[in-house]
Amino acid sequence: MGLLVRAMTADDCDAVAAVRIGGWRWAYAGLMPQAYLDAMSVEEDAADQRTRLNGGTGSRVVNVVAERAGAVVGWGCLGPCRDPDVPDGAGELYALYVRPEHVSTGVGRALARTLVERAVVDGFSSLVLWVLKENDRARRFYEKAGFTPDGAEEPFDAGGASVPEVRYTRSLTRAG
């Protein structure tokens, strides 16, 4: 079936929250404490999505969804890099999630390609992202998309458990 990647709207917030929470629970099972994943709320996340989408995060934040047969099956978000040790002009891929049943169907690749293209158009010189160190599937995905680890590592607090993340980066040019 055809895939449409488009700008996220307020009407997508519930579906995006379901994609995000479902993606966390699937991708991070065994990598984070299960109690932390179980405590996540689609309703609370949808409310947070609405707040962010309604201007709480700034004008340079881009949210896109992937849609198949009218249903949101993936979501991605980027904006200015939040890391103080990264050169000015860098963007950050804040999130990229796909419904588990749509993994390895091209949804993630389409979202990544769209977000990289948008980062170039928005004038970012590079794009960074953080990924769980033990998330081999995601690390392979990002490496295939042209990202490489830059040596930075930091802990992510998952309900009192420290889970290490590593940073990846990709230079951007007008040619993509």
Identify the pLDDT of residue 49. 86
- Of 4-13, 42-51, 62-71, which gets the smallest average pLDDT? 42-51
Percentage above 90 pLDDT, the chain? 88
Domains along the sequence of the chain with CATH? 3-171 (3.40.630.30)
Q: What is the largest CA-CA distance in the chain?
A: 44
- Classify residue 6 as left (phi > 0), alpha (psi -120 to 50) or beta: beta
Residue 48 has pLDDT above 70, yes or no: yes
pLDDT reported for residue 176: 45
Given a contact cutoff of 8 angstroms between Cβ atoms, the answer to whether 69 and 32 are in contact is no
